[in-house]
Amino acid sequence: MQKEVLIAGAGVIGCLLGKSLKKKNISFKILEKNPQPFKNPSRTVALTSDSIRFLNTVDSKLDLNAWATPVNSMNLFQDAAQALSLDSDQEKISSICALDDLHEKLLNDLNDDISWDTAINSMNNDKLIEVSTSNGNYSGKIIIASDGTSSKIRELSGCNVEEWFYGQKAHVCLVKCQHNNEARQYFSNFGTLALLPLNIEDEEHYSIILCTNITSDPKTQLEHLNEKYNLSFDLTDVNFGDGFELKHSRATKLYENNVILCGDAANTFHPMAGQGLNLGIGDVMFINDNLDDILNLNQPTLDRYSKERSMRNLQMTWIIQSLYGAFGNANELGSLLLKSGMGMLDKMPVVKQKIIDFANRN
Ligand SMILES: Cc1cc2nc3c(=O)[nH]c(=O)nc-3n(C[C@H](O)[C@H](O)[C@H](O)COP(=O)(O)OP(=O)(O)OC[C@H]3O[C@@H](n4cnc5c(N)ncnc54)[C@H](O)[C@@H]3O)c2cc1C
């Protein structure tokens, strides 16, 4: 089967790419290795205002502002002590939704465009891309790799990738709790604990993301933090499952011949800054805005894609690494310096607004 564009992977990024191509009447096929959408009801994402604007433009039926939970303030804690409080007079600072809900809404209208149970195994990328899958052969003018952090297409195309492991896992769960639309992030030597407000059928919950050492038992760790930070969560029914091993990966160039990398296949982040999906949506926004050039493999545009997106991703990597290094390893003196630095920042509303604006751009 020949299409103009092949998309590897039907995750959120692959589906969003499909939606934006469909709107422009470009023929495409999404090839997905799983037989059906992968579900994890406890997985949530914080969406920036850029992401919400773009998602609503690509599909007005998504209407994210109607159902995603707004975050009106974000408080950062160094251990139990509040270090920085971010809020904005101008608008909410982000919106939280369940990843499955967003995925399900994006899959609407795409069913005929996805070939499920179709793992890409090999690829020939001369003038035309030809891939052989567990479900037959497909060809296209270009292939967009949105097949996630361990991208097969990235490997087959020979794109160079830098990666390192944090020795941590992210564990997610939901607890019923009043949240007042406040998000919290606790940093300490154990790792990070993020609490994101999420309304599920009018009931308030916190979505918990605990990033901690691979060897720690997450439930015991959370019970300890629950007491230490006076959170008063009822953790009786919490079951964390396996968790997600955390790694950072970065392709040094985001295209190779007629292969273009996008989303986690291009860059994968520690979830501490809640930016991985948003930056992937930023990749799709670039492709959408420059589609004719991308389809014609215009070299200056592909170079610009690679440079601009890599620059944004490097900025975010630098922020994440600084937070990780500063908070994760703070000894007594370091901890004091950090506290006074954060205290100063907390008294600077203009700088705080700039942080919020930066975090809301993709
Ligand atoms: C705990 C946690 C919390 C997070 N919180 C946030 C947040 O608050 N905000 C935020 O912006 N981001 C967040 N992220 C990051 C975000 O979830 C990811 O960046 C995003 O979901 C990646 O989407 P994707 O479509 O690029 O990749 P994926 O969702 O991994 O999709 C890739 C798809 O490709 C398919 N595939 C793989 N190999 C093949 C193959 N060979 N052939 C065919 N198909 C294949 C897979 O089955 C999968 O369906 C978080 C991540 C974690 C782990």
Q: Which atom of ligand 1 is nearest to the CA of 209?
A: 1
**What is the pTM assigned to this prediction?**
0.94
62, 55 contact by CB (below 8 A): yes
196: nearest Cα among 167, 219, 218, 173: 173
Q: How far is the CA of 240 from the centre of ligand 1 (A)?
A: 19
**Percentage of the chain exceeding pLDDT 90:** 72
Q: How far is the CA of 351 from the centre of ligand 1 (A)?
A: 32
Q: What is the pLDDT of residues 3-58, one digit of tens each?
A: 899 999 999 999 999 999 999 999 999 999 999 998 999 999 999 999 999 999 99
Cβ-count burial 188-199 (b if 16+ within 10 Å, e if not)? bebbbbbbbbbb
| Ligand 1, atom 38, residue with closest C-alpha | 147
356: nearest Cα among 117, 42, 89, 32: 89
Query: Is the pLDDT reported for residue 98 higher than 90?
Result: yes
CB atoms inside a 10 Å sphere around CB 74: 23
Cβ-count burial 110-127 (b if 16+ within 10 Å, e if not)? beebbbeebebeebebee
The residues with which 77 forms a beta bridge, in sequence order, are: 82, 186
**Paired tokens of 119:** 């793992």
Torsion, Cα 315 321 323 327, to 10 degrees, reads -170
Residue 319 banded pLDDT, cuts 50, 70, 90: confident
Q: Which long-range contacts (CB under 8 A, 24 or more apart) does 98-101 make?
A: 98/41, 98/43, 98/44, 98/198, 98/200, 98/207, 99/12, 99/40, 99/43, 99/44, 99/45, 99/277, 100/37, 100/39, 100/40, 100/41, 100/43, 101/67
pLDDT at site 47:
97
Q: What is the mean pLDDT of residues 223-237?
A: 95
Q: Candidates 45, 196, 269: which one to mutate for ligand 1, based on the most atoms within 8 Å of Cβ?
A: 45
Ligand 1 neighbours (beta carbon < 6 A): 8-14, 31-34, 38, 45-46, 119-120, 146-148, 152, 170, 172, 209, 244, 263-264, 271, 274-278, 280
125: nearest Cα among 155, 87, 104: 155
**Paired tokens of 159:** 């794109």
Report CA 317 to chain centroid distance, whole Å: 13
Query: Is the pLDDT reported for residue 330 higher than 60?
Result: no
Report the C-alpha gap between 119 and 343 in whole angstroms: 51
Q: How far is the CA of 339 from the centre of ligand 1 (A)?
A: 34
Report the C-alpha gap between 147 and 303 in whole angstroms: 21
Residue 304 banded pLDDT, cuts 50, 70, 90: very high
Q: Which atom of ligand 1 is nearest to the CA of 37?
A: 49
294: nearest Cα among 106, 284, 19: 284
Query: Is the pLDDT reported for residue 249 higher than 80?
Result: yes
| Ligand 1, atom 9, residue with closest C-alpha | 274
Residue 321 banded pLDDT, cuts 50, 70, 90: confident
Report the C-alpha gap between 328 and 333 in whole angstroms: 14
Q: How many helices (H) and strands (E) does the chain have?
A: 11, 19
| Domains in the chain with CATH codes | 2-359 (3.50.50.60)
Report the C-alpha gap between 273 and 324 in whole angstroms: 10
146 phi and psi, to 5 degrees?
A: -120, 45
Q: How far is the CA of 346 from the centre of ligand 1 (A)?
A: 33
Report the C-alpha gap between 86 and 355 in whole angstroms: 8
Q: What is the pLDDT of residues 180-214, one digit of tens each?
A: 999 999 988 888 999 999 999 989 999 999 999 99
352: nearest Cα among 83, 65, 7, 40: 83
